Amino acid sequence: MTSKTLEDFLEAGIRELKEQGLFNEVDPLESPNGPQITLNGKEMINLSSNNYLGLATDERLKAKAIQAIETDGVGAGAVRSINGTLQLHLRLEEKLAAFKHTEAALAYQSGFNANVAAIPAVMDRNDAILSDELNHASIIDGCRLSRAKIIPYKHSDMDDLREKAKEATEQYGKVMVITDGVFSMDGDVAKLPEIVEIAEAFDLITYVDDAHGSGVLGEGAGTVKHFNLSDRIDMQMGTLSKAIGVVGGYVAGRQSLIEWLKVRSRPFLFSTSLTPGDVAATIEALDILTTSKDLQTRLWENARYFQEGLRAIGFDTGKTETPITPCIIGDEKETQQFSQRLMEEGIYAKSIVFPTVPRGTGRVRNMPIAAHTRDMLDEALAKYKTIGKELNVI
């Protein structure tokens, strides 16, 4: 039966989600989103943020944001293409291009917006997009908006990609291959050297979404730099909201690409630009990232320590190659129960189950960050051990 009224639709939809245990309740924080958070009056160790380097609450970034608000105001006042482009935006874009080792870069209001902006700006209904089946939702939406034929390939399966690239180039106009640099649920890294090789053989446009790689891999510059492919990837997209700690997104690439995006990407043309505070804080974050490796070193030390700790207790951390740390429990109900027990014990780590990940691969997803202390990680590991035994998972 289909609902005809909004009320019926909402009621049925919410009831169904609740019955399936898929209705997500939002947890509003009573503290900043740091290594520890306060929730329902309780202080917890936070293993669920994407604040890799702890920059979201960094005093240096806060000072720059406040200063920019004083000098430039709280809002940019217009879309970029009318008169919402401040000197600050241009400075940010110069820094981003240098950070990504490209000719130019363009900032957007979020990473999500960057994907929804850039993909449809270069692809249209005569084209095809080869998309890793585990790509992020914003890539999927960007591809849909382009009206190009979307051809998913099996996750990181290069034989499948090669075969589909061959077929697609025979049938369509432009063909793009698009992938996450780091996959957000498992923490594995895209096989960029092979992807580039296939792309060069079939003349594909290459697009890498490096939301989880920037600030983390390639000495901070990201997955593309990690593989030394900066001049062989056409479009590098990133976010300013994860390792960078603020908000916003960008696309980096050759000068002509950026010129085109300025006249053809809709969120640039029709949505107000990043605020001065955001931009100033982001510039400071990029300066910190490019002048010191301290935060990255701490991030990786913490990630290795936590992952080795979990494995030593007997947990399966899957195929992660990055700080993203899945703790694979398996059964959906058991995974949710595990996460619930962790929360009761003061550890905030969310369960991720079907349909976000395949059935039977439910996991608690952990994100150790640079700002965690050894004591915090030790406490989390101790709780994992207790609850693992209690629920017969280890």
Ligand X SMILES: *Cc1c(COP(=O)(O)O)cnc(C)c1O
Tell me which residues are annotated as active site. 184, 212, 242
Q: Are strands 249-253 and 235-239 parallel, antiparallel or unpaired?
A: antiparallel
Which token pair is 368? 């150790």
Who's near 362: CB < 8 A, 6+ residues apart?
328, 329, 330, 331, 332, 334, 335, 336, 351, 352, 353, 354
Q: Which of 85, 236, 241, 366 binds ligand X (CB under 6 A)?
A: 241
Q: Is 51 in contact with 323 (CB distance < 8 Å)?
A: no
Residue 110 makes contact with ligand X by CB under 6 A: yes
Distance, CA of 389 to CA of 313 (rounded, Å) = 10
Tell me: does residue 213 bind ligand X (CB under 6 A): no
Judged by CB under 6 A, does residue 112 bind ligand X? Answer: yes
Binding flag, residue 236, ligand X (CB under 6 A): no
Told to check if 138 binds ligand X by CB under 6 A, we report yes
Q: Does 274 bind ligand X (CB under 6 A)?
A: no
Q: Is 239 in the site for ligand X (CB under 6 A)?
A: yes
CB closer to ligand X, 118 vs 381: 118
* Region near ligand X per CB under 6 A, out of 64-72, 104-112, 254-262, 333-341: 104-112
Per CB under 6 A, does 209 bind ligand X? yes
Residue 138 or 325 having the CB closest to ligand X: 138
Which of 184, 206, 317, 336 touches ligand X (CB under 6 A)? 184
136 binds ligand X (CB under 6 A): yes
- Strand locations in 99-255, DSSP E? 104-108, 128-132, 149-153, 175-180, 205-209, 235-239, 249-253
Tokens for 58? Answer: 């960094």
What's the angle, vertex CA 138, arms to CA 353 and CA 241, rounded to 5? 90
The residue type of 331 is D
Give yes or no for residue 212 binding ligand X (CB under 6 A).
yes
268 makes contact with ligand X (CB under 6 A): no
What is the nearest approach in angstroms of ligand X to the Cβ of residue 182?
A: 8
Q: How far apart are CA 370 and CA 126, in angstroms?
A: 45
Q: How far apart are CA 211 and CA 249, in angstroms?
A: 9
Contacting range for ligand X; rule: CB under 6 A; set: 111-119, 276-284, 298-306, 332-340: 111-119
- Residues within the interface to ligand X (CB under 6 A): 110-112, 115, 136, 138, 180, 184, 209, 211-212, 239, 241, 249
